[in-house]
Amino acid sequence: MRPNEGAASSQPIKYEPVSVKDVLVEMKDTSELLIDLSYSAVLHQSEDIAAEVLKLEEKMDVLEMRARMSLMMAARNPKDTEMLAPVLGVVSGAEKISNATGDIAKIVLEEMGLPEAMRAALPEAVETLVRGTIAADSEYVGKKLKTIDLESETGVRIIAIRRGDEWITNPGPKTRIEANDVTIMRGPEQSIDDVYETATGERYSLPEFEEPDVDDLERAVRSIIHMKNLSELAVDLAYGSILFDNAELAEEVHNLEVEVDALQSRFEAWTLRAAKDAEDPVSLRGLIRLGISTEVISDAALEISEGVRRDIDVHPVIELAMQESDEVISRVTVEAGSDLAGATITDGVPATDVTMSVIAIRRPDEGWMLVADTEETLQPGDVLIGKGTRTAAENFAALATA
């Protein structure tokens, strides 16, 4: 481990009057980024990305403390306490996610043990994720992301920026790039090299790995990616259930948690069987940590949504967030004879007159499918998780009904 990595920050935190709504939204964005970065650090065996996870974990610690302070100030009577209890569940769940992703990052930093050929076993569909510091003479300096237009030109996206100790976890078109920004970039392997060189002034070469020396490692890596995606979806739905007081979304978090538990159990069994035949069984120790941490993340998502599942009244601060949100997450069940039955989804968008993006399908006989990059024909009984405007959500629900 590098010096000072993993050490708790001693930065003093004082109470400041902040918007609990804004803090909750920032915690949601940070949680999702932490999951993404920590798994990428393991799959790509990147110490640089793992180190950024620990820095981001420190940011989450500050957000958690500020949220607790604000919630304590907001409780003035027993009714307030009752309604704020689920919000404290959100804070507690976020803390568990943060700790779990930190543990995942330490698999790499502490050289806990991973098959060296994991990167070679990655499916081609998995994009490369790299960390790069913007050079002072880079042509990107001083420009907005909209002007650079990286994604449409190269397919590479800047998904986060660390500027000193401050994080921009959801950079948008108006975000301006500055010298010495630490950027997290994601994109196809064939494009990432040129963008990285333009941004940092250095060449980026993908590391070379030997062929897998563990039987069926490719299937294991696919299982890791699937668990990561389901855990991330569970966190997204958990925050959505709180922000929109949606019991159906909270129920789907429970369903996801059950499926992740089953996947983790099978993954752990595979790891133990692989260790029996591996030349160095200790090299698989990190995989066991990875499975355990994945289960913790899905359990944390369940804790975040617990108040909604127990039908506890939503505190006014959450109602405010609901009123100001332009985008909602909703769940519908496709009924036989409805307009959605038999409709095709391409890149998450159904072939219907509705601007709703389907991010996941739960099919009774097949479990969960993440559909952003696939084509799927909807069937009666499919449970759809969609994201879009309130109006689109209402129209979407109507299309699912016969």
Q: Cβ neighbours of residue 14 under 8 Å, at least 6 residues apart?
A: none
Q: Is 297 exposed, middle or buried (0-12, 13-18, 19+ CB in 10 A)?
A: buried
Residue 324 backbone phi and psi in degrees, to 5? -90, -10
Among 58, 60, 56, 53, which residue's Cα sits nearest to residue 91? Answer: 60
Distance in angstroms (rounded) separating the CA atoms of residues 68 and 85: 11
Yes or no: say if 110 and 317 are a contact pair by the CB < 8 Å rule.
Answer: no
Residue 335 backbone phi and psi in degrees, to 5? -95, 150
Reduced to 3 states, what is the DSSP secondary structure of residue 350?
A: strand
Helix, strand, coil % over all residues of the chain, rounded to 5:
50, 15, 35
Which value, in Å, is the radius of gyration of the alpha carbons in the chain?
22
Quickly count: other Cβ atoms within 10 Å of residue 164's Cβ.
Answer: 8
Q: Cβ neighbours of residue 332 under 8 Å, at least 6 residues apart?
A: 340, 383, 384, 386, 396, 397, 400
Instruction: Delineate the domains of the chain, giving CATH numbers in brackets.
Output: 20-119+211-317 (1.20.58.220), 128-200 (3.30.70.1450), 326-400 (3.30.70.1450)
Angle at 203 between CA 197 and CA 205, to 5 degrees: 125
The tens-digit pLDDT sequence of the chain (402 residues) is 444 444 455 667 766 667 777 787 788 888 889 998 999 898 888 899 999 999 999 889 888 888 888 877 777 777 777 777 778 888 899 999 999 999 999 999 987 877 776 766 666 666 788 999 999 999 999 999 999 888 888 888 899 999 998 899 878 889 999 999 999 998 887 788 889 999 999 988 766 656 555 667 778 888 888 888 899 889 988 888 887 778 888 999 999 999 999 999 998 888 888 888 777 788 788 888 999 999 999 999 999 998 888 887 766 666 565 555 556 788 889 999 998 888 887 766 666 666 778 888 888 888 888 876 567 888 899 998 888 877 788 888 888 898
